[in-house]
Amino acid sequence: MEETPRSGRGGGARAARRRAVAAALRLFTEHGYEATTMDDIAAAAGVSRRTLFRHFGSKEDVLFAEHDELFANVARHLAASAHDDPVTAVCAAARMVFQDYVAAPEITVPRYHLVRAVPRLRDREIAMTARYQAAFTGHLAADHTEGPRALAAEALAAAVIAAHNHVLRSWLRDPEHRVPWNRLDEAMAFVTRTLGPVFRDPGGPLEAGGPGAARNGLTGPAARPAPAGPDGSEAVLVAVYPARMDGQDVLRRVSEALGHPAG
Amino acid sequence: MEETPRSGRGGGARAARRRAVAAALRLFTEHGYEATTMDDIAAAAGVSRRTLFRHFGSKEDVLFAEHDELFANVARHLAASAHDDPVTAVCAAARMVFQDYVAAPEITVPRYHLVRAVPRLRDREIAMTARYQAAFTGHLAADHTEGPRALAAEALAAAVIAAHNHVLRSWLRDPEHRVPWNRLDEAMAFVTRTLGPVFRDPGGPLEAGGPGAARNGLTGPAARPAPAGPDGSEAVLVAVYPARMDGQDVLRRVSEALGHPAG
DNA sequence: CGATTTTCGACACGCAGTGCCATACTGGTG
DNA sequence: CACCAGTATGGCACTGCGTGTCGAAAATCG
């Protein structure tokens, strides 16, 4: 109606897409996810049912399409930054996700509440997180499916995602607050600081690193005459914490637990 | 036909259920999950389509119904053992799951391969794991949604499930091997030994425990003048390792990392 | 045996998702 | 302007999942 004069029907495919998402979000919130049909969304968006399916593929995808293309962006970003430092690239990927969420609160906030309410959507969200974790792990250790590198990659990916999700959820619950970029920065910086070196060289940097490194329990194969397994893997430790815990607090505590000074 | 004379049509509701699951498994494996319709399964099982939906609710549930009732069993077991030690109860719950899997390989093994092949089913499996983890966490710290107890519970649940899934998958890939009960025992024993004390008293048992306890980084609020967060939570460390790594190897390595002797 | 309750099967229906084809609209060419 | 690809759209029909309903048959009880 007021957008690009691409299509005579309603003003551009992009605009129609956004209208559909907005309409779906509104209808889902007002009448419930199950009670809203694709015909309802199509009518509200001013497009045909068939076009809706062409664009989004499924009813769930009306909600997660943007998230999916975000994942595709992240994946492309990771693939494109193969020359960069993998740890930095993964943290940047997490930042991309965070950026996308906070940039469109009118979409992400109601979707967050919908996902919390509808089991089907919650499962989808869980699967999504698993996909991110797999992508991060793969980018960190694409050539090592076993061994200490894969182990550190797994831990690092889990930590990055856990930290990101925690900060993100705290904002989603209270989107009126200022976007907690600082907390995300601290979370990413912490992960990079603590698990990054372990990932880059599982065999020793922490041993030769700062004071208290030996207290981490993160030791290398050369530092210990441990009976090496068939793959020579080493254990890597990562913090697990409840979703409601304050992010900065988590970071400080884990940092202390790893032997860093409290300040 | 040879079971209970309950129903004149085909020999008992239980038998019909099992026939349906078996038929679904066979058809899914032979012709694919998407290509097999509920009518096909109904015909193969000798029941009507409507009855099939009455028993299983959905197509996916034909595969996961037993898994769901297993989860219900586990949940009831946890609820019933409120008086027992929570850590022991959770480990016993993991054993129940393992027991159910190995007791019915003709179901669990083909289902495992189906789940690996069909994205839709894989997402469901991931969600299932998340449900178990939530149930374990809730049972370990039902009355503490925050604080060190919840933290330790989260870590403990994650560790138990990770260890269980690892041992289980190794058997699912090679069901001809002897059931690795010993590896599961070791996994559960290790988790109990290492994270159990931390859960039972996050404030210090490991500090006063064996040698090298301080190296764990698992310290209590009383042991450190750390600026406590609003909830007074403490960090707890848990091992994360790739699925293909040998279970015993993981256990030994993490045990070493936590300061226990290698033997 | 008859009466009640439960289970099963058959039919109809709504809705998600897909294939097919006709109809616009796009940009480029003579 | 007429013509012609290529593409996005809409309408239509169809398969399949999942559900509500109702009558019939079987199980249970007296």
Helix then strand count (H, E) for chain B reads: 10, 1
A50 touches strand D (CB under 7 A): yes
What pLDDT, on the 0 to 100 scale, is given for residue B211?
Answer: 30
Nucleotide nearest to A50 (CA to C1'): D10
Per-state percent for chain A, helix, strand, coil, to nearest 5 = 65, 0, 35
Q: Do A235 and B256 touch (CB under 8 A)?
A: yes
Nearest to B45 by CA among B65, B9, B67, B17: B17
pLDDT, tens digit, 9 for 90 and up, residues A107-119: 999 999 999 999 9
From B244, which residue of chain A is nearest by alpha-carbon distance? A146
Facing residues of A238 across strands? B238
Alpha-carbon separation of residue A4 from A7, A44, A54, A134 (angstroms): 8, 19, 20, 39
Q: Which nucleotides of D are covered by protein (CB under 7 A)?
A: 8-13, 15-21, 25-28
Q: What is the 3-state secondary structure (H, E, C) of B153-207?
A: HHHHHHHHHHHHHHHHHHHHHCCCCCCCHHHHHHHHHHHHHHHHHHHHCCCCCCC
Residues sharing a CB contact under 8 Å with residue B134, sequence separation 6 or more, in sequence order: B157
> Which chain A residues are within 8 Å of B61, Cβ to Cβ?
none
Give the CA-to-C1' distance from B50 to C12 in angstroms.
13
For B182-218, letters b (16+ CB in 10 Å) and e give ebbebbbebbbebbbbbbeebebbbbeeeeebebbbb
Give the CA-to-C1' distance from B35 to D17 in angstroms.
13
Query: How far is it, in rounded angstroms, from Cα A41 to Cα A48?
Result: 9
> Which chain A residues are within 8 Å of B259, Cβ to Cβ?
217
Residues sharing a CB contact under 8 Å with residue B19, sequence separation 6 or more, in sequence order: B10, B44, B45, B46, B47
* Range with the poorest average pLDDT among A39-53, B106-120, B150-164, B204-218: B204-218
Nucleotide nearest to A49 (CA to C1'): D10
Q: Do B256 and A230 touch (CB under 8 A)?
A: no
Q: What is the C-alpha end-to-end distance of chain B, expressed in Å?
A: 55
The pLDDT of residue B212 is above 60: no
What pLDDT, on the 0 to 100 scale, is given for residue B14?
Answer: 81
What pLDDT, on the 0 to 100 scale, is given for residue B158?
Answer: 79
What pLDDT, on the 0 to 100 scale, is given for residue B102?
Answer: 97
| Predicted structure pTM score | 0.78
Q: Does residue B207 or residue B99 have the better pLDDT?
A: B99
Look at the block and give the residue holding tokens 């039902």: B142
What pLDDT, on the 0 to 100 scale, is given for residue A99?
Answer: 96
Q: Does residue A45 or residue B223 have the better pLDDT?
A: A45
What pLDDT, on the 0 to 100 scale, is given for residue B79?
Answer: 93
Quick one: which residue's CA is nearest to C25's C1'?
A7
- The CA-based angle A136-A78-A246, given to 5 degrees, is 50
Give the CA-to-C1' distance from B8 to D25 in angstroms.
10
Q: Report how far Cα B188 is from the mean position of its chain's Cα atoms.
A: 12
Q: Does residue B24 or residue B3 have the better pLDDT?
A: B24
From B226, which residue of chain A is nearest by alpha-carbon distance? A262
* Range with the poorest average pLDDT among A43-47, B91-95, B114-118, B133-137: B133-137
Q: Which nucleotides of C are covered by protein (CB under 7 A)?
A: 7-12, 14-20, 24-26
From B123, which residue of chain A is nearest by alpha-carbon distance? A127
**Residue B83 burial (10 A CB sphere; 0-12, 13-18, 19+):** exposed
Q: CA of B127, closest CA in chain A: separation in Å?
A: 5
Q: CA of B45, closest CA in chain A: separation in Å?
A: 28
What pLDDT, on the 0 to 100 scale, is given for residue B170?
Answer: 92
Q: CA of A238, closest CA in chain B: separation in Å?
A: 6
Q: Do A259 and B217 touch (CB under 8 A)?
A: yes
Q: Do A237 and B237 touch (CB under 8 A)?
A: yes
B212 phi/psi in degrees, rounded to 5: 80, 5
Give the CA-to-C1' distance from A58 to C23 in angstroms.
25
Nearest to A192 by CA among A100, A99, A86: A86
Largest CA distance in chain B: 73
What pLDDT, on the 0 to 100 scale, is given for residue A250?
Answer: 54
Amino acid at B36: T
Query: How far is it, in rounded angstroms, from Cα B28 to Cα B34?
Result: 8
User: What's chain A's length in residues?
Assistant: 263
Which domains are present in chain A?
A: 1-57 (1.10.10.60), 60-257 (1.10.357)
What is the mean pLDDT of each successive set of 10 residues along chain A, which is 263 residues long? 39 83 97 97 96 97 93 93 89 96 96 96 95 91 70 78 88 95 89 76 41 32 31 44 51 49 37
Give the CA-to-C1' distance from A105 to C17 in angstroms.
30
Q: Do B244 and A127 touch (CB under 8 A)?
A: no
Find the mean pLDDT for residues B162-173. Answer: 91
Look at the block and give the residue holding tokens 């032997």: A259
From A232, which residue of chain B is nearest by alpha-carbon distance? B249
A58 touches strand D (CB under 7 A): no
Nucleotide nearest to A35 (CA to C1'): C15
What pLDDT, on the 0 to 100 scale, is given for residue A224?
Answer: 30
What pLDDT, on the 0 to 100 scale, is given for residue B156?
Answer: 82
What pLDDT, on the 0 to 100 scale, is given for residue A74?
Answer: 95
Facing residues of A240 across strands? B236
Q: Report the C-alpha dihedral over residues A67, A71, A73, A79, rounded to 10 degrees.
A: 180
Evaluate the CA torsion angle A73, A78, A80, A84 in order and state its sign: positive
Q: Report how far Cα B110 is from the mean position of its chain's Cα atoms.
A: 18
Alpha-carbon separation of residue A21 from A4, A102, A120 (angstroms): 18, 17, 18
Look at the block and give the residue holding tokens 């199509």: A42
Whether residue A154 contacts residue A145, with contact meaning beta carbons closer than 8 Å, is answered with no
What pLDDT, on the 0 to 100 scale, is given for residue B215?
Answer: 34
pLDDT, tens digit, 9 for 90 and up, residues B10-69: 457 788 899 999 999 999 999 999 999 999 999 999 999 999 999 999 999 999 998 998
> Which chain B residues are within 8 Å of A240, Cβ to Cβ?
151, 154-155, 158, 236-238
